[in-house]
Amino acid sequence: MIRFASLQARTQLVTGAACLLILAVVTIITGPHLAHLYRTDVAPCTANGDCTLQLQAFFSHDTFLQNALNLVIRVVPALIGIFWGAPLFARELETGTYPVAWTQSVSRSRWLATKLLIGGVGAMVTAGALSLIVTWWFRAFDLANTDVHSFSVFDQRDLVAVGYGLFAFAVGALLGAVLRRVLPAMAATLAVFVFARIAVTAWVRPRYMSALHKSASLLQGGFGIMSRNGSSSGLTFVAQPSATDQSWVLHTQILDQAGNPVSQAARGAFLEQHCASVLPGGSDPLGPLTGGHHTVQAAPSPVAFQHCQATAAKYYHALVTYQPASRYWPFQWIETGLFTALAIGAFAACFWWVKHRIA
């Protein structure tokens, strides 16, 4: 039965192995050069404190491959579910060939377990190998990109892709068994996988561990003046100071000296009273930002803007809610375990459904 199931999955497994081999060759050719550039150009300049030009030149290398690998590592787990998991049982159920397997010497339970085991292991190995290749190739970029927290590429590195691939395959197999049609099962697999990824990223991952809080001065950076209605009315100031290096900032709140949240209206009144020199006068000098926001120029001079920031720091401070960089690997293990547990649940449901609901 193992040999027969392996032969059935041969096309998918060979195709996946060939793609991984091609990708490995490309990254092996280009990766060492990037590591050499980092050692010779970027790493030495960090001692001087200013690496702006070196970093710009470094990040401009292999931009096509950077974008391609970032796309591949996100898409492949979903493709595993769509093209490996969904047709696993749906194809035989749709064509009506499944009774042939059950009338042979192999029991239905063994047939199910073997197909799920071979497909699941193949999904894990493929996703894991791909993540290993991508993580290895990006190691120089990740070392150089100190201004961005490690959680920003959380789902594109290390362990979690293994959980994503296994989960996508299990969901595909379950939906294929339930829907009994290949194309509807493919579409449903994609929808469930995307929903699960978005839900975990937005709502679950920030709560794996209780977030930490830190009081930060408005002088620590990220201070700005903005308008939400596209005009000089409704002005407020914002602040986004970092908690610690490489930390994942979840939320920043402006508080007064008593620790109470400061409304936008109160911040606007503060600007009118203490920062009139940096507010626009006459015609609207605001320029558009993403999402329809506008930001006020630091006119008439940077000195006036710095004075405004210093004055605001005397009356207000920021409360930063964050996950420290030290939790990156615990979060990796937690999320991998979460998706693995969901996959096991989907496998169990698939096993029960095929065994008890399909005649």
Dist CA 285 CA 204 (whole Å): 41
* Residue 353 clears pLDDT 70, i.e. is over it: yes
Rounded to whole angstroms, how far apart are CA atoms 81 and 168? 4
pLDDT confidence of residue 317: 93
Provide the residue type at 116 as one letter: L
Report how far residue 117's alpha carbon sits from residue 170's, in angstroms, rounded to the nearest whole number: 10
- pLDDT tens-digit readout, 76-123: 999 999 999 999 999 989 988 877 766 677 788 888 898 999 999 999
pTM: 0.86
Q: How many other CB atoms are there within 10 angstroms of residue 151's CB atom? A: 20
Enter the tokens of residue 282. Answer: 């006459």
Whether residue 295 has pLDDT greater than 50: no
With the C-alpha atoms ordered 25, 29, 35, 37, is the resulting torsion angle positive or negative? negative
**Does residue 206 have a pLDDT over 90?**
yes
pLDDT above 50 (res 296): no
- Helix (H) or strand (E) holding 248, with range, is strand 248-256
**Which residue, among 116, 157, 109, has the nearest Cα to 343 in the 3D structure?**
116
Decide if pLDDT at 289 tops 50: no
Can you tell me the distance from the alpha carbon of 149 to that of 170, in angstroms, rounded to the nearest whole number? 32
Q: pLDDT, tens digit, for every residue of 160-174?
A: 999 999 999 999 999
- Give the per-residue pLDDT at 120: 95
**What's the Cα-to-Cα distance from 288 to each of 15, 170, 226, 231, rounded to whole Å?**
47, 45, 10, 10
Query: Which of 93-107, 266-280, 305-319, 322-336 has the lowest average pLDDT?
Result: 93-107
- Percent of the chain as helix, strand, coil, to the nearest 5: 70, 10, 20
> In 3-state terms, what secondary structure has residue 227?
strand
Instruction: Kindly report the average pLDDT of the chain as a whole number.
Output: 86
| Band of pLDDT at residue 220, cut at 50, 70 and 90 | confident
State the pLDDT at residue 281: 55
Of 136, 131, 157, 115, whose CA–CA distance to 12 is shortest? Answer: 115
